[in-house]
């Protein structure tokens, strides 16, 4: 059987012309394919560019919107801070601007742009700041102030508690995001705004996360309120003159029981283990006299001691937390509550509270025979002020400021017996704990303790100066503390017996001055200046710090100064920070740094 190409079924060109035509057609197809591909690629690129241009234009439009709304928000916040506007009246307008800024910055295009290197951190920071303002103004601020203005049989704290619980997770999320973005390379205008909002959110996050439990959201909590008397200075503030047990249940607060120092078995130590360094500095008086339980500048130590006193001598209550306040904090709170009429007929105000409680009360009840009248007066004041605050009958804006100032100066302290809550509290200044490192701040502590059994510190002036210097790879800190008993012998002769020294009358008064150096340093030298001043010890380490302890003996009108120099290897030291005993007459605090990069020079006053 024969086979030919025609039998295969494939078309076969029959002539040379047909073969050439077929080859030309094939070449045209091959040549046109790349042109088509280039045309398609060009169309795609053009479309992408067009979308990118539109996205950039949209992003610029959104950015201008956000910028405008945030600037308006910043203007309102500045007016509130300057006292030109009431926060309750400003919140609705602030809420509108914050909501508009958050909505614009929450745009999908904005979110996508946050992945762009360099620009992304700035865009994310602006968005988080806008969302934070929106949450603060609309989810917290306005509902809270609406609760203030509402008419309800429930206490304000009970009304506010659900708001705290619902907002806490978002506040924590935004605070963490702002802290993260602040580590990036932000433009100066963006950083200024992000830092401002980030500081607020970082402060609020731990507070909101612990408040619900502290206020009884998860069941009853019992807190011991210790009222410290600054007329008798003792380390963290003043003698632990009176105590009040407060029950918190679902945000409802109730005073359960009150006690004063005369109801305790003073002289018989409570069963609390304290380190030898603490008793070396403060003797057994730290644990066998309740008035001096605040001697060591560590509030957890004080909280454990006063809890043991209460449970042994007053009532065997479960104590979930300890709160300490003093008349200095009370005076600030009265700026928010307004005047309070007392059962004695006195009217307690922010201007007269310190004088009435720490001077005039002793003129009325200044003998051993009548001092129980003073105890009753203090208990009455505590009860009436507590009722005013628990009811929510106060100016919220002024109360926030008052609480912030009291925490900053050490007049308001808190400890939780719940380990989880205490872990949140510990890094905060309200914890009354000295920092364990110099990473964020280089903290120096100067503390005063009256050792005369007197109430003389109403008349005591104090000043602290800290100078840091660097040389030859070493860092040195010169810490000086000056005391001046600002009362004449003639005025001292008129003091009530209870104010005078139990040991020396009006002849002289002894104050222990304890200077805590920065962690990682040691005492290099000490010096004293004054009539009767002596070094007690310079070889005790307490709370992870070297301590120089002095005694000053002051007669009316006299002054004394003590100085301790601490030194250590040069390294990473944060900016200088000074903590002192809250004194009735504000302690003047100054710091300076010479030849050191980290600590900053500043001047301030604490009370």
pLDDT tens figures, 74-109: 787 777 767 667 777 888 888 888 888 888 777 787
The domain spanning residue 266 has which CATH number? 3.40.630
Looking at the domain assignment, is residue 459 inside a domain?
A: yes
pLDDT attached to residue 400: 85
- The answer to whether the CB of 533 falls within 8 A of the CB of 550 is yes
pLDDT tens, position by position, 185-232 = 888 888 888 888 888 888 888 888 888 899 998 899 999 999 999 999
Same domain flag for 118 and 81: yes
Same domain flag for 102 and 205: yes
pLDDT tens, position by position, 105-140 = 777 877 777 777 777 888 888 888 888 888 888 888
Sort residue 392 into left (φ over 0), alpha (ψ -120 to 50) or beta: left
Whole-number mean pLDDT of the chain? 85
Give the Cα separation of 139 and 109 in Å (integer): 25
- The answer to whether the CB of 584 falls within 8 A of the CB of 576 is no
Same domain flag for 197 and 262: no
pLDDT over 70 percentage in the chain? 85
75 CB contacts (<8 Å, ≥6 apart)? none
Same domain flag for 198 and 264: no
Continuous H helices in 410-506: 419-425, 489-492
Looking at the domain assignment, is residue 321 inside a domain?
A: yes
Looking at the domain assignment, is residue 167 inside a domain?
A: yes
515 strand-pairing partners: 446, 548
Same domain flag for 209 and 237: no
Same domain flag for 167 and 265: no
Radius of gyration of the chain (CA): 34
Q: How many CB atoms lie within 10 A of CB 453?
A: 17
| Nearest by Cα to 482 from 552, 399, 567, 577 | 552
Looking at the domain assignment, is residue 174 inside a domain?
A: yes
Whether residue 435 has pLDDT greater than 60: yes
Band of residue 21 on the pLDDT scale cut at 50, 70, 90: low
Looking at the domain assignment, is residue 575 inside a domain?
A: yes
Give the Cα separation of 289 and 380 in Å (integer): 24
| Nearest by Cα to 443 from 591, 302, 330, 317 | 591
pLDDT attached to residue 464: 98
Continuous H helices in 268-360: 276-282, 285-288, 299-313, 327-337, 353-355
What SS3 class is residue 117? coil
Give the Cα separation of 402 and 326 in Å (integer): 13
pLDDT attached to residue 487: 97
Highest mean pLDDT among 417-421, 511-515, 527-531: 511-515
- The answer to whether the CB of 309 falls within 8 A of the CB of 322 is no
Average pLDDT over residues 336-352: 91
Cα-based distances in Å from 451 to 239, 360, 508, 552: 11, 22, 11, 10
pLDDT attached to residue 150: 61
Looking at the domain assignment, is residue 245 inside a domain?
A: yes
Q: Of 374, 390, 421, which residue constitutes the final position of a domain?
A: 421
449 strand-pairing partners: 234, 512
Lowest mean pLDDT among 46-60, 108-122, 475-489: 46-60
Looking at the domain assignment, is residue 272 inside a domain?
A: yes
Band of residue 381 on the pLDDT scale cut at 50, 70, 90: confident
Same domain flag for 485 and 519: yes
**483 or 197: whose pLDDT is higher?**
483
Same domain flag for 475 and 600: yes
Same domain flag for 241 and 315: yes
Cα-based distances in Å from 385 to 39, 92, 333, 346: 82, 31, 9, 13
578 strand-pairing partners: 444
Same domain flag for 203 and 235: no
Q: Of 363, 394, 421, which residue constitutes the final position of a domain?
A: 421
Q: Of 421, 454, 470, which residue constitutes the final position of a domain?
A: 421
pLDDT attached to residue 601: 38
Looking at the domain assignment, is residue 17 inside a domain?
A: no
pLDDT tens, position by position, 550-598 = 999 999 999 999 999 999 998 889 999 999 999 999 999 999 987 676 4
Whether residue 606 has pLDDT greater than 50: no
Same domain flag for 184 and 60: yes
Average pLDDT over residues 436-463: 96
Q: How many domains does the chain have?
A: 3
Same domain flag for 255 and 197: no
pTM beyond cutoff 0.85: no
- DSSP code of 290? G
Domain extent at residue 270: 221-421
Band of residue 5 on the pLDDT scale cut at 50, 70, 90: very low
Cα-based distances in Å from 402 to 257, 331, 439: 26, 9, 29
pLDDT attached to residue 599: 43
Give the Cα separation of 578 and 495 in Å (integer): 33
Average pLDDT over residues 523-542: 95
Task: Kindly tell me the number of DSSP H helices and DSSP E strands found in the chain.
Answer: 17, 18
Lowest mean pLDDT among 143-152, 431-440, 537-546: 143-152
Q: In 178-290, at which residue ranges do the beta strands (DSSP E only) sit?
A: 221-234, 237-249, 252-260
Cα-based distances in Å from 571 to 377, 470, 541, 564: 52, 10, 21, 21
- The answer to whether the CB of 556 falls within 8 A of the CB of 485 is yes
């Amino acid at each position: 059987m024969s086979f030919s190409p025609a039998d295969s079924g494939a078309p076969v060109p029959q002539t040379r012309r047909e073969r050439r035509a077929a080859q030309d057609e094939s070449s045209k197809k091959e040549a046109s394919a790349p042109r088509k591909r280039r045309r398609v690629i060009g169309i795609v690129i053009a479309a992408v560019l067009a979308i990118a241009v539109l996205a950039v234009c949209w992003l610029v439009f959104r950015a201008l919107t956000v910028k405008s709304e945030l600037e308006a928000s910043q203007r309102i916040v500045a007016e509130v801070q300057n006292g030109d506007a009431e926060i309750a009246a400003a919140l609705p307008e602030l809420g509108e601007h914050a909501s508009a800024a958050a909505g614009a910055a929450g745009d999908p295009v904005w979110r996508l742009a946050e992945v762009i290197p360099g620009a992304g951190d700035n865009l994310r920071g602006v968005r988080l700041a806008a969302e934070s303002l929106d949450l603060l103004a609309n989810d917290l601020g306005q509902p809270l102030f609406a609760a203030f203005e509402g008419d309800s049989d429930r206490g304000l704290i009970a009304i506010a508690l659900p708001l705290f619980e619902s907002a806490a997770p978002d506040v924590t999320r935004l605070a963490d995001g702002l802290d993260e973005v602040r580590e990036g390379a932000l433009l100066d205008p963006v950083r200024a705004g992000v830092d401002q909002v980030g500081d607020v959110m970082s402060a609020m996050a731990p507070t909101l996360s612990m408040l619900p439990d502290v206020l009884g959201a998860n069941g009853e909590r019992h807190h011991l309120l210790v009222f410290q008397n600054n007329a008798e200075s003792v380390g963290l503030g003043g003698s632990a003159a009176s105590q009040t047990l407060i029950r918190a249940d679902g945000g409802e607060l109730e005073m359960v029981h009150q006690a004063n120092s005369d109801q305790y078995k003073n002289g018989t130590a409570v069963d609390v283990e304290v380190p030898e360094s603490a008793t070396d500095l403060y003797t057994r008086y730290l644990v066998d006299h309740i008035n001096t339980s605040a001697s060591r500048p560590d509030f957890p130590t004080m909280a454990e001691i006063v809890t043991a006193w209460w449970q042994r001598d007053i009532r065997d209550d479960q104590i979930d937390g300890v709160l300490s306040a003093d008349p200095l904090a009370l005076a600030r709170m009265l700026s928010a509550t307004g005047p309070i009429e007392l059962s004695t007929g006195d009217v307690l105000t922010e201007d007269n509270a310190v004088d009435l409680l720490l001077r005039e009360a002793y003129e009325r009840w200044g003998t051993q025979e009548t001092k129980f009248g003073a105890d009753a007066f203090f208990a009455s004041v505590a009860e009436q002020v507590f009722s005013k605050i628990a009811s929510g009958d106060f100016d919220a804006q002024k109360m926030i400021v008052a609480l912030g100032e009291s925490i900053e100066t050490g007049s308001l302290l808190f400890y939780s017996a719940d380990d989880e809550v205490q872990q949140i509290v510990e890094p905060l200044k309200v914890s009354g704990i000295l920092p364990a490192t110099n990473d964020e701040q280089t903290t120096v502590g100067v503390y005063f303790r009256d050792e005369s059994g007197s109430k003389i510190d109403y008349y005591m002036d104090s000043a602290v100066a800290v100078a840091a210097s660097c040389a030859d790879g070493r860092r040195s800190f010169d810490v000086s503390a000056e005391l001046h008993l600002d009362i004449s012998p003639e005025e001292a002769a008129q003091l009530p017996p209870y104010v005078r020294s139990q040991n020396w009358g009006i002849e002289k008064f002894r104050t222990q001055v304890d200077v805590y150096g920065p962690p990682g340093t040691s005492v290099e030298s000490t010096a004293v200046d004054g009539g009767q001043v002596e070094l007690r010890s310079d070889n005790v380490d307490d709370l992870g710090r070297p301590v120089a302890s002095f005694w000053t003996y002051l007669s009316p009108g006299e002054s004394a100064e003590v100085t301790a120099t601490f030194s250590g290897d040069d390294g990473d030291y944060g900016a200088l920070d000074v903590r002192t005993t809250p004194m009735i007459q504000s302690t003047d605090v100054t710091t300076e740094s010479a030849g050191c990069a980290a600590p900053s020079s500043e001047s301030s006053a604490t009370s």
